[in-house]
Structure 1
Amino acid sequence: MARVLVSDKLSPTAVQIFKDRGVEVDYLPDLGKDKDKLLEVIDQYDGLAIRSATKVTEKLIAAATKLKVIGRAGIGVDNVDIPAASRRGIIVMNTPFGNSITTAEHAIALIFAVARELPEANASTHAGKWEKNRFMGVEITGKTLGVIGCGNIGSIVATRGVGLRMHVVAFDPFLSEERARELGVEKVELEELFTRSDFITLHTPLTDKTRGIINADAIAKMKDGVRIINCARGGLIVEKDLIEGLKSGKVAGAGIDVFEVEPATDNELFQFPNVVCTPHLGASTSEAQENVALQIAEQMADYLVRGAVSNAINMPSITAEEAPRLKPFVKLAEVLGAFVGQVTDEPIKEVEILFDGATATMNTRALMSATLAGLIRPQVSDVNMVSAPIMVKERGIIVSEVKRDKSGVFDGYIKLTVKTPSMTRTIAGTCFSDGKPRFIQIKGINLDAEVGHHMLYTTNPDAPGIIGLLGTICGANDVNIANFQLGRDRPGGDAIALLYLDAPFPEKALNDLRTNPKIASAKRLQFDVN
């Protein structure tokens, strides 16, 4: 039974979800704050469910010898060392949609608060003053709202803005014209958004490209009296530049929920009455907190019990529905990669993975990850589908994917081509109705070979006596042959033999084969077929 640790406060309903799905769970909501104690016990768990209090560092990940998945109840994963988790093959999940409406509504609330100076008016009235003429706000109807980042949250803000009769312009490199029309927004470039917007709201992740996207140069391009809202990530706005804009009057107001340094207990922005500041409340509603807790429990349980992967930061998603159909082909992909990885002694320069027919309609990202994992496992034993793409990239290997319609007798198959400095290797395989992987082509030579745990692969000139030679050597070394497949490119040309054995082929027998003039090459292979 899989075992999960919940080290931050999570809904009791979420804890029950783990139990209902057959996952053992330890609910220790204060453990995340005790780094030393967490480090002591983390090696007991397959899964770790967290919020923001638990810091999943490289040191913690190194100690988590059993850990398979980390689940963050929320969208932000700043408290998880994702590269370290990926190198260890640990899936990192979040819940990007559980607090989308809540965060979008908070951005809209800040637009209203900044437009009508509500916090200051409230404080003044509570102080017994009646300063009706002091607080002269602006209407938002008819104003232009600029949305930077029109993904899940940004698109909700955009549609709310349209509903408030604002004219919405949006900048997002991945926003299609069709999607923009569907949302009722105008797609523009970033500089045009700056020059046209009365209100600007940020809804983009913090990356090297987006860090400081609102800076002095950007503010200089904006309308006089612009109002800026940030409910996304601290660091998107250069705070010292925003402060200068507020001092000069270029920026009429701002609504800030996230800061460059958090918790923000002493920030110069607090000095400005036209700046509404909240303590990272974007996701802070009872509905959102419950939603993300339930979602992360469901996602982690689905992965640990059924192999389904959803909302993973470092792994292709595999839905619960497609997992049963995909599983045999994931194994096939691993086997194809493992075959080439075991017979290739030179550094690999390029990898091409071809998906033909039915396989082209599957989750090919997952299949590619599985292929790469099998390919480099002979050199890196602890690699898996999560860490393989990173390790391949670090080694400078070029990876490409090809999809095509059915082109042969099989409904679907996978073909792997690997290039080294001196040669090109190819292998293809498919799964039959029994779900077991089969080799159907090696070196361009067709065959039909069942995959076994222990195998022997030889290449040789097509000539009489090869079957007898291999059979005699196996018999002399007390190795039983479960299956024997041969293939050749033409009579008298190149030939291959693939033997499925009941036990490993002995080293001495392997050396005898390699020195035999009838054998060009011989490789002992091993596959995980469970």
Structure 2
Amino acid sequence: MTRPKVLISDKMDPNAARIFEERGCEVDVITGETPEQLKARIADYDGLAIRSSTKVTADILAGADNLKVIGRAGIGVDNVDIPAASSKGVVVMNTPFGNSITTAEHAIAMIFALARQIPQANERTQKGEWPKNDFMGIEVTGKTLGLIGAGNIGSIVAARAQGLRMKVIAYDPFLTPERAIEIGVEKVDLDTLLARADFITLHTPLTEETRNILSAENIAKTKKGVRIVNCARGGLIDEAALAEALDSGHVAGAALDVFQTEPAKESPLFGKPNFICTPHLGASTTEAQVNVALQVAEQMADYLVSGGVSNALNMPSLSAEEAPKLRPYMKLAENLGSLVGQLAHGNLTRISVEREGAAAELSGKPITGAVLAGLMRQYSDTVNMVNAPYLAKERGLDVREIRHDREGAYNTLLRVTVGTESGERSVAGTLFGTDAPRLVEIFGVRIEAELEGHMLYIVNEDAPGFIGRIGSLLGEAGINIGTFHLGRRQAGGEATLLLSVDAPIPPELVRQACALQGVKTVMPLEF
């Protein structure tokens, strides 16, 4: 078996390469390449491990025909074109927890630096001055800290601030009342936070909703004398507006580890006596650098070797332990999606994926992704579970997931139903044993069959002699029948026939089959 190949294109802890090797991957460490060099090289690799230096653009991804996963050792993925990766079918992972403590501690350090003006006092003292009376600080004890964002890093900052006897309030649309109680913060709206906080720290990703969340308008709503810290993402603060607020004294001090443009060679904030900054050091500790490198290697190797998906930004998570259990279901799901996609006529408008019995207890997202991958294969030969949902969305397909608690005729069952201009069409399947996918129903007709290889689907009048006629036709054409599956709703009505054959059915043979007496539909299938 060929081992997956991984390229590490940015400097990271050497133990990352060791982990890739130990887990069954080949790895090359080639850093400092130009975009043109990376574009020329990337087609040879299944995985790309990066830090912040490598920019994975749509142009680079265009040539990455074998690439399956990009792993970012760190939280931010601003340097990866995620939509382009998704359309290419490439999983994008990050390591959201490897540097959480480090970044949170940096924010706390910035709070202290602002409160006691440590950088400014240090600079003048080292010049031989003794400016003891020029630096009157404030205590953080008893002050109100306002968190904009109370996720993983924000909650760690809250815990540290509470240890300093600060009152912590938080604005976060995703923060539930229960979680707020759990981490010991008061949940408030943004205007309330701006009006009450003595210190404000930001801990959100940069999105269209959070861009310039501290705009000129919102900075004007803050409490006079507020101190602002940003160790999250550049672009969350209007830097020109912050500079004006520092000049006016409305904002007593600001500390930034991140800037809208990096590296920040110039900024309206530079030179302000009440401003301090660091060059994006939030994750820069020995422990964090080791943690994120090891974590990204483990995640990528799990995906490439066993199919486990952790911390993916464009695909549902699937642990390495879950993957073997889900694999036969995902094969069944993909086959059902492919079957209904090949047989359903007209423009598809909606699709539902129903799970019952043992299937209802499994994670639904990977199963739905597999169904869509099978369905979308008729539109693209590079479709997979990653880009299939995006292709479905582009086509305006309404996707629904339905989970049933009921017990049916089968221990486990998947049903895929598509809506077309001419009505709904449904297929269903189960597992025989624990790992043998089987079709059990097609368009309301009970029929048991393995979906594999070359197959022929026929709907005909249920009348004597038909089986002999189709067998003779295929035999005369030199097409050997592998398996034969027959179902019908009632005697004398319509019968459904599924044949597996040892070679593709040529178009001329399909036309001859259609001309047989009693035949209503003939379609070759491929799985």
Q: Shorter-chain-normalised TM-score: which range? A: over 0.9
- Contact residue 350 and residue 398 of structure 1 kept, 8 A: yes
Query: C-alpha deviations, 1:231-258, integer Å up to 9, x for none?
Result: 1111111111111211221111111111
CA contact (8 A) 1:224 1:251 kept: yes
Aligned to 2:21: 19
Would the alpha carbon gap of residues 406 and 480 (structure 1) be closer, same or farther in structure 2, given more than 3 Å must change? farther
Task: Give the deviation of 1:198 after TM superposition.
Answer: 1.1
Q: Deviation at 1:222?
A: 1.4
2:468 counterpart residue number:
468
1:302-357, CA deviations, whole angstroms, 9 ceiling, x for partnerless residues?
A: 11111111111111111011010011111111101110111134221111111112
What residue number does 1:407 align with?
A: 407
| Matched residue, 2:94 | 94
Q: Which moved more, 1:6-15 or 1:480-489?
A: 480-489
For the Cα contact (< 8 Å) 1:10–1:29, is it kept in 2?
Answer: no
Deviation at 1:500, TM superposition (A): 2.0
Q: What RMSD in Å do the two structures reach over aligned CA positions?
A: 1.5
Aligned to 2:432: 432
- For residue 523 of structure 2, give the secondary structure of its aligned residue in structure 1: strand
Q: Which residue of 2 aligns with 1:43?
A: 43
Runs of 4+ in 1 over 4 A off after TM superposition: none
Residue 323 (structure 1) aligns with? 323
Distance 1:447 1:174 in 2: 47
- Which residue does the alignment assign to 1:179? 179
Counterpart secondary structure, 2:18: helix
Tell me the percent identity.
56
CA deviation profile, 1:411-463 (whole Å, cap 9, x unmatched): 22211111112221111112222512110111122222122211111223433
Q: Match for residue 6 of structure 2? A: 4
- SS of residue in 2 equivalent to 1:299: helix
Counterpart secondary structure, 1:460:
strand
User: How big is each residue's C-alpha offset from its partner over 1:91-123, in whole Å with a ceiling of 9 and x where there is no partner?
Assistant: 111111111110011111111111111111111
What is the identity, as a one-letter code, of the residue corresponding to 1:152?
N
Task: Find the counterpart in structure 1 of residue 70 from structure 2.
Answer: 70
Alpha-carbon distance in 1 for matches of 2:411, 2:137: 66
Corresponding residue SS for 2:280: coil
SS in 2 for 1:525: strand
In structure 2, the residue matched to 1:305 is: 305
2:486 is equivalent to residue 483 of structure 1: no
One-letter amino acid of the counterpart of residue 197, structure 2: S
Structure 1: how far apart are the matches of 2:187 and 2:466? 68
Is contact 1:5–1:27 with CA below 8 Å preserved after alignment? yes
Write the mapping of 1:341-360 to structure 2, written as runs, cut at 5 A: 341-360=341-360
Contact 2:345–2:420 under 8 Å retained in 1? no
Aligned to 1:234: 234
> What's 2:111 paired with?
111
Residues 491 and 192 (structure 1), Cα distance of their counterparts in 2 relative to 1, 3 Å cut: farther
Letter in 1 for 2:436: K
Opposite residue 342 of structure 2, the aligned amino acid is: Q
State the partner residue of 2:165.
Answer: 165
Question: C-alpha displacement at 1:125, in angstroms?
Answer: 1.4
Separation in 2, partners of 1:451, 1:270: 66
Q: Deviations over 1:63-111 (max 9, x none)?
A: 2221111111111111111111111111111111111110011111111
3-state SS of paired residue (1:446)? strand
Deviations along 1:353-387, whole A, 9 cap, x unmatched? 11112222212111111111110101211111111
The reply on whether 1:277 has 2:277 as its aligned counterpart is yes
**What SS does the corresponding residue of 1:270 show, helix, strand or coil?**
coil
Q: Is the 8 A contact 2:194 2:218 kept in 1?
A: yes
C-alpha distance in 2 between matches for 1:326 and 1:225? 56
For structure 2, which runs of at least 5 residues remain unmatched after alignment? none
In the aligned structure 2, how far is the partner of 1:466 from the partner of 1:145? 80
Cα gap change, 1:372/1:121 in structure 2, threshold over 3 Å: closer, same or farther?
same
Question: Do the aligned partners of 1:477 and 1:506 also contact (CA within 8 Å) in 2?
Answer: no
Other structure's SS at 1:391 match: helix
Measure, in 2, the Cα distance between the counterparts of 1:308 and 1:85. 18
| TM-score using structure 2 length | 0.97
Question: Are the counterparts in 2 of residues 358 and 406 from structure 1 also a CA contact under 8 Å?
Answer: no
2:196, 2:223 within 8 Å by CA — same for their partners in 1? Answer: yes
Contact 2:431 2:437 in 1 (8 A): yes
Q: Give, in whole Å, the separation in 1 of the partners of 2:400 and 2:184.
A: 37
Query: Would you say the 8 A contact 2:103–2:153 is kept in 1?
Result: yes
Instruction: Provide the C-alpha distance between the structure 2 equivalents of 1:143 and 1:468, rounded to a whole number of angstroms.
Output: 88
Paired residues of 1:306 and 1:323 also in contact (CA < 8 A): yes
Q: 1:42-71: CA deviations, max 9, x gaps?
A: 221111111111111112111222111111
CA distance 1:384–1:60, shift in 2 (3 Å): same
> Mean alpha-carbon deviation: is it higher for 400-409 or for 280-289?
400-409
